[in-house]
Amino acid sequence: MRQNRVVIIGAGLGGLQCGYILCKKGFDVTILEQDGTIGGCLQTFSRQRTLFDTGFHYVGALDEGQALNRLFHYFDLMSLPWSRLDNDCFDEVVIGDQSFPFANGHDNFCSTLSQYFPAERNNLQRYTATLKEVGDHIFDKLKPSQDNSFYETSLFSKSAHQFLNETIQDPLLRKVLSGTSLKMELCADTLPLYTFAQINDTYIRSAWRLNGGGSLIADKLAQSIIRMGGTIKTHTAVTTIVEKDRQVAGVMTAKGNFYEADWVISNTHPAVTVELVGESAMMRNIYRKRIKSLQNTFGMFTANIVLKKETIPYINRNIFVHKADSDLWRIQCDNTESVMVSLPAPNDNLSYASGIDLLTPMSWQEIEPWVGTPAGRRGEDYVAFKQRKTEQCIALVEKRLPWLRDAIEHIYTSTPLTYNRYTATAEGCAYGIRKDYNNPMMTVLTPRTPIPGLLQTGQNLNLHGIMGVSMTSLLTCAEIVGTDSIQDELKNYIKD
């Protein structure tokens, strides 16, 4: 008899995508979400009638025939109101008082930056060729294996920092090419070349916002899941993953309900997953300790700013502002050296911006004094801390946007504590577990766990971001239905 009962822990993007795939394959799917709202970091919220995203700001490779376009056609997400960023400057990198545009298209990207660095034209061509090679073969990863041997012999085992230094001679150009770093955690000692190349390539191909915010993605997936017979339950926290006869048997919730399952997929942080596993004959302590010892990437401080009505024209790009002397590969979070500026797509295609987001790296250590305190009651010191951080962000950004301070109507802020509280993100980390090219087999995780029937998904396994999570969802479901089944399902969208 076919084993077809699946329980998914967490209704973030990875959990919803796994639910969608398995519902299409005829499985009995139940998704359990501890929060009252689905979506995880796709959630949006409204302040003063201005919509802000929790963690979603833009996506890449959504143009016709590109990788995310093919995936989103499969997930029935291309009908959402996508809006393309400026083709000739989708990202602007500001280093001190100098500004550099990132253009869409590998040739356009190369030729545009070559105008600023003519002596580096050939090196830029080699740089973009490497990125394009990675992006062209992104679907080669749809090959689940028994172990991580693929990662040990791939660009996951190469240094991104070394690649950049060996390819680009001009130190300023190296800093510029690293300037959109807040899409990932740049760490000279650990970041794999594959992560750096795949993410940057995605956005160079094309860059898009979503009018209405990331929650539209979660809502559309949820509607499809329910239409196909799946179930999504909010306010349902899983407290225990139950093992019986040396395989997964289901989950127990905080309300005392048991959900029997042939498969359990955890869309939580792996350290949380092992905590949910009770007594186990299959999961040894050495595995638990290994997972708990993995380091997390830094988190984000965000200032969501409501702008005065009809004062600031909408800017159809992202702006990354850095201090001139900052080392982007060894960011000191507490110094506020870098800020990402992102404007939510305007409502009803109006020409004025209603809000603006300022994001800067923040470590868990910075907010440790307030860990364990309840939201909204963390005291005056916490409020003052956030005010100082906001002022530092504004002071850096207004050098590029001198109108910003006078245009502010209201400011709302969040820290890694906020993400930890509302999305159950471990240490509020922005990009999941820190991948290490020195030891990819330990830090790049497969969907499988030691317990048969218990799988993992989400940004902590392979790659973060919309593309990374989408790919990981396919890998996770391939463990259940087989690689051939997944490839057959996608054949109309992914061409050789």
- Across the beta sheet with 263-266, what order do the strands follow? 231-233, 28-32, 5-9, 263-266, 454-456
pLDDT of residue 22: 97
pLDDT of residue 144: 47
d(CA 237, CA 27): 22
d(CA 339, CA 475): 34
| Domains of the chain with bracketed CATH | 5-62+69-77+212-294+437-490 (3.50.50.60)
For residues 446 and 418, the answer to whether their CB atoms sit within 8 Å is no
pLDDT of residue 143: 58
User: What residues of the chain score a pLDDT lower than 50?
Assistant: 1-2, 144-146, 496
pLDDT of residue 147: 52
pLDDT of residue 387: 96
Query: Which residues are bridge partners to 99 per DSSP?
Result: 94
Q: Is the pTM of this model over 0.85?
A: yes
pLDDT of residue 49: 82
How many alpha carbons lie under 13 Å from residue 238 in its C-beta half-sphere? 31
Maximum distance among all Cα pairs of the chain, rounded to whole angstroms: 67
For residues 110 and 193, the answer to whether their CB atoms sit within 8 Å is no
